[in-house]
Structure 1
């Protein structure tokens, strides 16, 4: 079997931000069910992503699996982002895959073959949370034997993976919108990425006013250490 035989595609969004969860999505669908204008989600406008996601969810022949990796899981010292990315893909895939399916995933590891092997083992192993599944799919109880291929940039090469990328991004954006409303008193969150000045301003403002990090922050990220250190230094200077 080759990636061209795939009936399931998977990708994740939000691996690098300092705020909010990471989200993975898997799509099980015939090729004809994928909209012609699907693309790597980073190349699509928010409105186009929403439209494509709605189209996919409305189709009876499309199954969607979503896995949301919380900040608590990300900050767990017993794990790491590479392992969590594998788990996210495996959970999303397990929500929709059927035994014998060929899966193509956007590789979340420098080694494509290692990522594929770990995701395959994750889907086939016991104890995987089936995540948030829409429209069908089999239970992950007992594991599902699938054939997984992983490639860097697969979201730009395979419509199934681009569809998964879009769904993951839409869900991640919805999570950020919810956090924006929850923390409205402390200003806009921005994109949630460490390089975003708006995000850094939000963290500084929150820490300055409360003395601690918000629950939506990945406390293990160096950005949070920097913000806490700056706040402590500012307090010492004032003292």
Structure 2
């Protein structure tokens, strides 16, 4: 399986979702310590991501799914996960072409973002513009496959950098996940001050809808 694909940020109420594809002809040549990104400290994830992206033998593709795409009424998160995986694979293929390597036939493994892993693999294959592409998908692939683990690291580091950039501009926003009290407090405070959601909010998420509703209720109670 010369490439692995995984995503980060499917569930947050704030910010983009990212997917990464990592290609390496000989997976045994991956740096030591590769595993599912959730099992690594942030500093170690950043170190490994930098090693992967600086290694000429490794091709990396990254896809970003913005809140605007997530909120579009004609789509859903499963379809967007498919699109993210496909776009990341195409990005890795472009990286291979720039390195003058062959992309005539590519095969790899995705961490399945659907209850039906085979269906997810078929949908990713159909969404890719590449010919001679073979995609497999499994649940828990980020634990079982070093290449998928590598992709999970790159995707998570991209998502973390995205959140850090938002925090630099807007103040502490937490992780962006609905269960994070800092995220909920940021949303409540922002809506209270501006009367609207921040531009990087997933407006269709119930967490964001609830923040707006709470602010509107507070406003009504003041009259």
Query: Is TM > 0.5 for Structure 1 vs Structure 2?
Result: yes
SS in 2 for 1:96: helix
Deviations 1:165-207 (A, max 9, x none): 00000000000011001112xxx10000001000000000000
- Give runs of ≥4 in structure 1 deviating > 6 Å: none
1:154 aligned to 2:159? no
SS in 2 for 1:218: coil
Q: Is contact 1:33–1:62 with CA below 8 Å preserved after alignment?
A: no
1:23 aligned to 2:28? no
Of residues 182, 191, 199 in structure 1, which corresponds to 2:175?
191
Which residue is 1:53 aligned to? Answer: 49
Of residues 128, 131, 135 in structure 2, which corresponds to 1:144?
131
1:175 aligned to 2:162? yes
Which residue is 2:108 aligned to? Answer: 103
Deviations 1:211-231 (A, max 9, x none): 000001000001111111111
Of residues 5, 17, 41 in structure 2, which corresponds to 1:10?
5
* Distance across 2 between alignment mates of 1:9 and 1:218: 28
* Distance across 1 between alignment mates of 2:222 and 2:132: 61
Structure 1 vs Structure 2 CA RMSD: 0.9
Which residue is 1:117 aligned to? Answer: 122
Which residue is 1:62 aligned to? Answer: 58
Deviation at 1:101, TM superposition (A): 1.4
* Distance across 2 between alignment mates of 1:75 and 1:7: 33
1:212 aligned to 2:196? yes
Q: Is contact 1:33–1:61 with CA below 8 Å preserved after alignment?
A: no
Could you tell me which runs of 5 or more consecutive residues in structure 2 were left unpaired when the two chains were aligned. 94-102
* Distance across 1 between alignment mates of 2:131 and 2:182: 43
* Distance across 2 between alignment mates of 1:167 and 1:233: 41
Which residue is 1:36 aligned to? Answer: 32
* Distance across 2 between alignment mates of 1:43 and 1:218: 27
Which residue is 1:129 aligned to? Answer: none
Deviation at 1:100, TM superposition (A): 1.9
Which residue is 1:91 aligned to? Answer: 87
Q: Is contact 1:101–1:146 with CA below 8 Å preserved after alignment?
A: yes
TM-score under structure 1 normalisation?
0.87
Which residue is 1:231 aligned to? Answer: 215
* Distance across 1 between alignment mates of 2:2 and 2:207: 39
